[in-house]
Amino acid sequence: MDKKLIAEGRPAEIMLVDDNRGDALLASHAFRESSVQTNLTVASTGEMALAMLAGEGEYRGQRLPDLIMLDLGLPKMGGVEVLERIKSDIRFRHIPVIVMSNSGAGSNILKSYQLHANAYVMKPADLQKFREAISLIEQFFFLLACVPSQNIDA
């Protein structure tokens, strides 16, 4: 696990922003099977994700995620707008964001990287490949790479 998370003695905090219950359940199951201890929070809308990040209302006191997994196809406020808001807010722009989408459209990929997404991953249709994708993401961000600490001074 990431040395900073070990030093803080806590599981990795992951926010999944996806309105598809099936995908959210698959991700939840994949993270439960993983070698890294995680807390997965699911936001079914972009508005909910931004409220969670800002600690508004019922989300007051909630930890910031160490990683955000963001679907582009959200109702009302789309994933591109959510990404733009996250990366333009100094409080959240340090959080790695992985765009996960069913679309491999070049324009979506380019726009996501222009808005400073840290990765763009096509959602695998196959259950086993979906689990493998989650495992690879987790291994990269929590075993290989270092994510910013919740404690700015750390």
In a domain, 60, yes or no: yes
In a domain, 150, yes or no: no
pLDDT digits (tens, 9 = 90+) for 87-99: 999 999 999 999 9
* Number of folded domains that form the chain: 1
- 44: Cβ–Cβ under 8 A, 6 or more apart, which residues? 18, 19, 21, 24
| Mean of all residue pLDDT scores within the chain | 87
In a domain, 78, yes or no: yes
In a domain, 153, yes or no: no
In a domain, 116, yes or no: yes
pLDDT digits (tens, 9 = 90+) for 60-69: 999 999 999 9
In a domain, 80, yes or no: yes
Domain span at 106: 3-142
pLDDT digits (tens, 9 = 90+) for 109-148: 999 999 999 999 998 888 888 888 888 998 898 888 887 7
In a domain, 149, yes or no: no
H/E stretch holding 67 = strand 67-71
In a domain, 121, yes or no: yes
- Alpha carbons 92 and 112: distance in angstroms, whole number: 16
Q: Output the pTM of the full model.
A: 0.89
- 41: Cβ–Cβ under 8 A, 6 or more apart, which residues? 13, 14, 15, 16, 52, 62, 65
Give the pLDDT mean for 1-18: 73
What CATH number is attached to the domain comprising 38? 3.40.50.2300
